[in-house]
Every structure is written in structure tokens, then in C-alpha cells.
Amino acid sequence: MQEATFLILTALADGSQHGYGIISEVAGISEGRVRLRAGTLYTALDRLRADGLIDVDREEIVDNRLRRYYRLTPAGGRRLAAEAARLQANARAAMTRLNPGLGAI
């Protein structure tokens, strides 16, 4: 899974978000490292919808502008959980080997 995809799914993990909300959440989660642009975001959203990992939650009009909210589907939640577990296992292995004295955390 691409990092951008992982971060988008993470941004939706605790509730639905609209496009700009996802961009800000992703910037926050990655501590400013990943700043999604609109083209990249919508290519990813299109793909995630086609794969059934996210879905449209609802639409709102704010200041005459359309906001479409996206949410994680159950399949998306499972995919994200599996990916997060994989990354966590890798990170733990790396930390254990770097600091053998600390033992298992």
C-alpha cells in the first residue's frame, strides 16, 4: 500500500471527511510531510472507491460549494487494520534489533 493511500484511509478511520478535510488530516498525521494535491487526492479516492475501501457518506453545500464526505467501508477498515499491523510488526522488529538491551516492549 502506498503511503498516501495509507494516510487517506487513516484520515477516515475515526469518521467521515470531505476532500479538504482529508488533505488537512493527512498533513496533520504525517506532521506536514505529506501534502496531498487535489489531482493526487481524487485519483486515490477514485481508486479506493472502485476497490470498495471507501464510500460517499453524504454531501453538504457550504458557502455555495459542494462538500462530499467520504467514509471507510468495513472492507476498508479491515484493509487499514491489516496494513497497520504489518507496519507495526516491522517497526517493532526494527526497534528491537536497534536496541537489543531494551527487550520486548
Partner 1 sequence: MTDWSPGGDSFSISDRASSSARLERAYRRLVACYPRSFRRESTEEVIAVLLATAREGQRRPSVAEAADLLRGAARMRLGLSRCPRTVLHAVRLMYLGALAEVAVLITLLLSIDSIRSSTRAAVIHAVGPHAAPAATRQLLASVASTVNVTIVIDIAFALFAIAAWLFFAWANGKGSALARVGAIIACAIYGALTIQGYAQGDAKYAPVAAIVASSAVLVIGIAAVILLLMKQSWPYYTRPATAR
Query: Among residues 31 and 63, whose Cβ is nearest to partner 1?
Result: 63
- The minimum distance between CB 33 and partner 1, in angstroms, equals 16
- Structural element, H or E, at residue 59: strand 54-62
- Beta-bridged to residue 56, according to DSSP, are 70
- The C-alpha torsion from 78 through 83 and 88 to 90, rounded to 10°, is 150
Query: Among residues 5 and 13, whose Cβ is nearest to partner 1?
Result: 5
- Answer yes or no whether residue 67 interacts with partner 1 by CB under 8 A: yes
Residue recorded with cell 489531482: 39
- The minimum distance between CB 48 and partner 1, in angstroms, equals 9
Which positions from 35 through 64 interact with partner 1, judged by CB under 8 A?
Answer: 37-43, 46-47, 50-51
